[in-house]
Amino acid sequence: MRIIGGQAKGTCLSAFKGKQIRPTLDRVKESLFNQIQPYLEGAHFLDWFAGTGNIGLEAWSRGASKAILIEHNPQALQTISDNLKKCKAGERIEVIRSDAFQALARLEKQQVQFDMVYIDPPFELNLHNTCLESLVESPILKETTLTIVEHHHKTTLRKNYGKMALRRERRLGDTWLSFFSARPLFT
């Protein structure tokens, strides 16, 4: 696992073994960032269920002005800390050590908004729909926020969650990337 683009390109990231963490494969990450790169420069990026920090660090490396990583697993948090040091990531990355939904409530109270939200909960917890439903009326989303969900190909997502509509899907092996937004963003 490594950073594949931007200022930290080539940096090898730490991972750990365990059923709770399933790092995003490089080919999935490369497909993701090929699609969102035009919208990433200066973006505020939320990596919800950050795991190793792989996706949030990639967003930071490629030009996001702020990346917030939410994680509560102590082993994952240590891995994120190690990876932040390896990448020499500075103040543009914030780690929130909290349950995902408590962190969301905290961000809402702080009136933080994001240009992109990446959702990748452990597949076995089946939280994908719950996460999307919790975002429907959340003030962390702007009219133009792009919400990306990484999920197993057998996970069923709806085409609409309130104003958020499915705009694009990509299948890479058993993994799907589903892109939602209130307004069409892709050309």
- pLDDT tens digits for range 138-147: 999 999 999 9
At 19, is the pLDDT very low, low, confident or very high (cuts 50, 70, 90)? low
Q: What pLDDT score does 103 carry?
A: 96
The mean-pLDDT minimum among 66-70, 90-94, 139-143, 148-152 falls in: 90-94
Phi, psi dihedrals of residue 96, rounded to the nearest 5°: -105, 120
Q: State how far the Cα of 99 lies from the Cα of 92, in Å rounded to an integer.
A: 21
Q: State how far the Cα of 187 lies from the Cα of 185, in Å rounded to an integer.
A: 7
As a whole number, mean pLDDT of residues 22-36 equals 85
Question: 95 and 50 in contact (C-beta within 8 Å)?
Answer: yes
- Joined together, the tokens standing for residue 30 give 């490369």
Whether 22 shows a pLDDT value over 80: the answer reads no
Question: 140 and 112 in contact (C-beta within 8 Å)?
Answer: yes
Q: What pLDDT score does 76 carry?
A: 92
Q: Distances from the Cα of 9 to the Cαs of 4, 6, 15, 80, 144, in angstroms?
A: 5, 5, 17, 17, 28
Q: State how far the Cα of 84 lies from the Cα of 81, in Å rounded to an integer.
A: 5
Query: How much of the chain exceeds pLDDT 70, in percent?
Result: 95
Q: Distances from the Cα of 163 to the Cαs of 61, 125, 136, in angstroms?
A: 30, 25, 7
Q: State how far the Cα of 74 lies from the Cα of 41, in Å rounded to an integer.
A: 31
Whether 25 shows a pLDDT value over 80: the answer reads no
**What is the average pLDDT score of the chain?**
91
Report the predicted TM-score, pTM, of the whole model to 2 decimal places: 0.93
As a whole number, mean pLDDT of residues 163-168 equals 94
Phi, psi dihedrals of residue 54, rounded to the nearest 5°: -50, -50
Q: State how far the Cα of 152 lies from the Cα of 143, in Å rounded to an integer.
A: 27
Question: 171 and 153 in contact (C-beta within 8 Å)?
Answer: yes
Q: What pLDDT score does 18 carry?
A: 64
Q: What DSSP state is assigned to residue 101? A: H
Whether 20 shows a pLDDT value over 70: the answer reads no
**More confident: 92 or 47:** 47
